[in-house]
Amino acid sequence: MLRMKSSPLLFAVILLLIPLLTAAEVRELEWLELMPEEDAQAWMEDAMAIDHSGFSAPEPFQSFRTISELDGISARIPGFVVPIETDGQGNLKEFFLVPYFGACIHVPPPPANQIIYGRLAEPIPMVNIWDAFWMEGQLNIEDVSNDTAASSYTMDVSRLELY
């Protein structure tokens, strides 16, 4: 039987690599990273032209274009929760995460690639919609649309915590 001599250095290297192999790195995202640069530029220019006097409703800027490299990554992003679905006890199950407070009730709403549809594996007590949250989980490119808004991304949420 062939026997290999164990090396303390080899053992130390293996111990150092185990955490790297078992935990996926979570990428912290900023909202504009979710849209192509030319869309971000157009949206910013469009936002500068909005008349907030309340006399006319502007045509909302819309873009469903996504960044393919973000599909399936483990990510973390801050935003505000817009509840969509609850369980029988009023616990939060599904929601939109938006980049700024009032985004889905304010005119105009953000484009679809600036809204993420969050799905919790287990419902949690309802959150305060006035608070900002960090949402963490697997980001996916997937269109979701309902009466509240449309989004180009979803997230399988593993963590939702106060910002």
150 within some domain: yes
71 within some domain: yes
Alpha-carbon distance of 49 to 34, in angstroms, equals 22
Alpha-carbon distance of 82 to 26, in angstroms, equals 23
Q: Which of 40-54, 66-80, 130-144 has the lowest mean pLDDT?
A: 40-54
pLDDT above 90: percentage of residues in the chain? 67
13 within some domain: no
Domain of residue 147 covers 26-50+60-162
32 within some domain: yes
For position 128, which CATH number holds? 2.40.50.870
Q: Is residue 42 within a helix (H) or strand (E), and if so which, with residue range?
A: helix 37-48
Residue-wise pLDDT tens digits, 19-55: 444 456 999 999 999 999 999 999 988 877 766 666 6
43 within some domain: yes
With the C-alpha atoms ordered 32, 161, 153, 85, is the resulting torsion angle positive or negative?
A: negative
Q: What share of the chain is helix, strand, coil (3-state, %, to 5)?
A: 25, 35, 40
For residue 140, give both structure tokens. Answer: 């996916």
45 within some domain: yes
Region at 17 (left for phi over 0; alpha for psi -120 to 50; beta for the rest): alpha
CB crowding 122-145: b at 16 or more within 10 Å, else e: ebeeebeeeeebebbbbbbbeebe
Would the pTM of this model clear 0.85, i.e. be above it? no
* Cα Rg of the chain (Å, integer): 21
Domain count, the chain: 1
